[in-house]
Amino acid sequence: MAFSPCAVIPTYDNPDTVREVVELVREHVPVILVDDGSDAPGRAVVEAIGAEGLAQVHHRSQNGGKGAGVTTGFELARAAGYSHALQVDADGQHALEDIPAFLDAARAQPEALILGAPVYDDSAPTGRLVGRQITRFWTNIETYGRVIDDPMCGFRVYPVEAACALAPRCGQRMDFDIEIAVRLVWAGLPVVNLPTKVRYHADGVSHFHLVRDNLRISWMHSKLVLSSWLRLLTGR
């Protein structure tokens, strides 16, 4: 299949940032924007983006989580015939000037999963940095080595077919980014980790719930560690 990338952007209540993100991303690739049941202000911005033809817009009727939004985006990407999906957050935290480097890496190794490896500045909250170290400890165990630099960064490129096959089996909220990366490693995809700056804006919006999402992520790691041991024991 010829290399034909699009972007999949999940959004939930990002009225202040989503338009600028879409405008910058569409300079590189066509955009599929999945609104995951945003409240009126976020929904109105997404509707305007669709009406202006800046992106292919899909509205999910109910909030299902970041993973649910991305999964819907993968399905739309496959239906439209795209080979690769660049995933970018809608909150303006990613260094979109790095998009060409991400696309070049995917073009050079189309079978690979291209993962952003965040380079933080002083704006990053300590709690989030510690959480990432813990989840990285577990993904190293789950993947039998240091394959994934950062399993939580939402800036990455997926081969669409492989992503569509595994996405519905993954946790559909903030656990999604981690679980699909591990499962794609298990499926045999090579991983390319690309350093990229991540900023936390003073007035930024986060939907990451410290307790609820960390509990969900802990449960997911329990399942994945068990599965990784079973895979070793059974050779499957």
- Show the site string, 41-80: x = touches ligand GTP by CB under 6 A, - = not: ----------------------x-xx--x-----------
Q: 166 vs 174, which CB is nearer to ligand GTP?
A: 174
Is residue 91 near Mg ion by the rule CB under 5 A?
A: yes
- The H or E element containing residue 7 is strand 5-11
**Strand 56-60 relative to strand 113-120, pairing:** unpaired
Q: 14 vs 196, which CB is nearer to ligand GTP?
A: 14
**Would you put residue 129 in left (φ > 0), alpha (ψ -120 to 50) or beta?**
alpha
Rounded-to-integer distance, Cα 59 and Cα 72, Å? 10
Using CB under 6 A, pick the residue from 29, 33, 90, 163 that binds ligand GTP: 90
Q: 43 vs 128, which CB is nearer to ligand GTP?
A: 128
Reference 8, options 30, 41, 37; nearest CA is 30
What strand order describes the sheet that includes 31-36?
A: 56-60, 31-36, 5-11, 84-87, 156-159, 113-120, 191-198
- Show the site string, 141-180: x = touches ligand GTP by CB under 6 A, - = not: -------------x-------------------x------
CB of 229 to ligand GTP, least distance (A): 28
CB of 35 to Mg ion, least distance (A): 16
